[in-house]
Amino acid sequence: MERPAWAPQGIDISVPSVSRIYDYYLGGSHNFEVDREAAREAMRFMPGLPKVMQANRAFMRRAVRFAVDEGITQFLDIGSGIPTFGNVHEVAQSANPEARVLYVDHDPVAVAHSHAVLEGNGRAGIAAADLRKPQDILSAAEDSQLLDPSRPVALLLVAVLHFVEDQDDPYTAVATLRDALAPGSLLVLTHAAYEGIPLSEEEAGGTVGVYRNIKNPLVMRSREEVTGFFDGFEVLEPGVVSMPLWRPEGEADQEDPYAFSGFAGVGRKA
Ligand SMILES: C[S@@+](CC[C@H](N)C(=O)[O-])C[C@H]1O[C@@H](n2cnc3c(N)ncnc32)[C@H](O)[C@@H]1O
């Protein structure tokens, strides 16, 4: 397989990656045939997967605008993915040009492409780090000098916690990050769940199997388990809900039954 110029040296382009599969669902061009095959296989079980991803992105943009309206000027976006239309820095900086964004991902393609997209933007950066090692993320944030830890930050964990298995202790990772945040900081998250998917659990389970096969298991969690990530935060209205129901801005937000898969929420640290 030929390696395109944007693919960093050292990555195995014969193994599908979560970020490149997601890029494919969103209509991006930073993916390989192995990724497209895995994505198509997952869509055999859940044909509406791209709609889920679009609802996820739409929620994220609304939540970023909400954070800016709340006076937040700093964003830490973990599991940020391959940059695509309507990235956090674009939404935040168009609402407030002073907004600063640190992206974090452990996928080399996401990191390389983010570097390319952010070149020349003095208020946004990318760090390669793993959510399972939250101390590494805090060190990277300090090194970046982009975020002032004494002031509130919006911590985005959007469509990433469902890739952290229980054995890797996702609740402790979130708590470690929370403890480093100033009061008034926000936690913005989405999470995959069987709830809301317009299919039986058995049918939707085929998609989970595809991610298991590519050694990036997708962990479905219940509303209660997802709400548990907000420990130490006050969950803001309307609570932990389907993505289109979180402060919708227009009818288009509520168009497709697949968009109601999984959960979204925003919490504030006291
Ligand atoms: C489905 S994408 C979500 C991208 C973006 N947050 C969004 O919602 O549009 C998940 C991203 O999380 C990243 N990811 C998965 N596990 C991670 C981990 N343990 N640490 C850092 N990033 C991770 C993947 O590489 C991928 O880019």
Among 11, 17, 18, say which to mutate for ligand 1: greatest number of ligand atoms within 8 Å of CB: 18
- Closest atom of ligand 1 to 132 CA is 19
For ligand 1, say whether the CB of 73 is within 6 Å of any of its atoms.
no
The answer to whether residue 217 sits within a structural domain is yes
pLDDT, mean of residues 257-264: 96
Q: Which residues are within 8 A (CB) of 230 and not within 5 positions of it... i.e. 6 or more apart?
A: 187, 240, 265, 267
**Which atom of ligand 1 is nearest the CA belonging to 168?**
19
Residue with more model confidence, 250 or 251? 250
Return the higher-pLDDT residue of 4 and 207.
207
Nearest ligand 1 atom, CA 164: 19
pLDDT at 5 over 90: no
Q: What percent of the chain has pLDDT over 90?
A: 89
- Domain hosting residue 172, numbered range: 18-269
Q: Are the C-beta atoms of 99 and 73 separated by less than 8 Å?
A: yes
Average pLDDT, the chain: 95
Rounded distance from Cα 105 to ligand 1 centre (Å):
6
- Whether 230 is in a domain gets the answer yes
Q: Is 154 in the pocket of ligand 1 (CB under 6 A)?
A: no
**Quick check: is 3 in a domain?**
no
Report the relative pairing of strands 263-269 and 74-78 from DSSP bridges: unpaired
pLDDT at 1 (0 to 100): 63
pLDDT tens digits, one per residue of 41-57: 999 999 999 999 999 99
Quick check: 266 pLDDT over 80?
yes
Alpha-carbon distance of 4 to 15, in angstroms, equals: 15
Q: Which strand ranges, in their side-by-side order, compose the sheet holding 154-158?
A: 124-128, 100-105, 74-78, 154-158, 186-191, 263-269, 233-235
Residue 165 CA from chain centroid, whole number = 16
Half-sphere exposure of 249 (CA within 13 A, CB side): 9
Domain count, the chain: 1
Asked if omega into 217 is within 30° of 0 (cis), the reply is no
CA 56 – CA 64 distance, rounded (Å): 12
Q: Is 156 a residue whose pLDDT tops 90?
A: yes
| Residue 18 Cβ < 6 Å to ligand 1 | yes
Ligand 1 contacts CB of residue 42 (under 6 A): no
* CA pair distance 25, 39, nearest whole angstrom: 7
Q: Which of the residue ranges 122-126, 159-163, 182-186, 249-253 would you say has the lowest mean pLDDT?
A: 249-253
Structural tokens at position 227: 């709400």
Q: What is the CATH number of the domain that holds 262?
A: 3.40.50.150
Provide mean pLDDT across the span 105-125: 94
CA distance 24 to 2: 18
Spacing, Cα 110 to ligand 1 middle (Å)? 9
User: Would the CB of 127 count as within 6 Å of ligand 1?
Assistant: no
- Structure tokens of 93? 């900086």
Residue 263 identity: F
Query: Model confidence at 85, in pLDDT bands (50, 70, 90)?
Result: confident
Question: Strand pairing of 233-235 and 263-269?
Answer: antiparallel
Q: Is residue 32 part of a domain?
A: yes
Closest atom, ligand 1, to C-alpha of 17: 25
Which atom of ligand 1 lies nearest, measured to the CA of 84?
Answer: 9
User: How far apart, in whole angstroms, are the C-alpha atoms of residue 33 and residue 55?
Assistant: 25
Q: Are 30 and 6 in contact (CB under 8 A)?
A: yes
Backbone phi, psi, residue 167, to 5°: -65, -20
The pLDDT confidence band at residue 132, using thresholds 50, 70 and 90, is: very high
Determine, yes or no, domain membership for 13.
no
Of 160, 165, 166, 216, the one to substitute when testing ligand 1's pocket (max ligand atoms within 8 A of C-beta) is: 160
Query: Please, which residues bridge with residue 266 across strands?
Result: 188
For ligand 1, atom 11: residue with the closest CA: 79
Q: What mean pLDDT do residues 154-182 have?
A: 98
**Residue at 9 is within a domain:** no
The answer to whether residue 2 sits within a structural domain is no
User: 18-47, pLDDT tens digit by residue?
Assistant: 999 999 999 999 999 999 999 999 999 999
pLDDT computed for residue 32 by the predictor: 93
pLDDT at 35: 95
Q: Is residue 5 part of a domain?
A: no
Ligand 1 pocket, residue 114 CB under 6 Å:
no
Ligand 1, residue 130: give the atom nearest the CA: 20
Query: How many C-beta atoms lie closer than 10 Å to residue 175's C-beta?
Result: 14
Q: What is the pLDDT of residue 250?
A: 82
Residue type, 262: G
Would you state the pLDDT for residue 103? 98
pLDDT at 186 over 90: yes
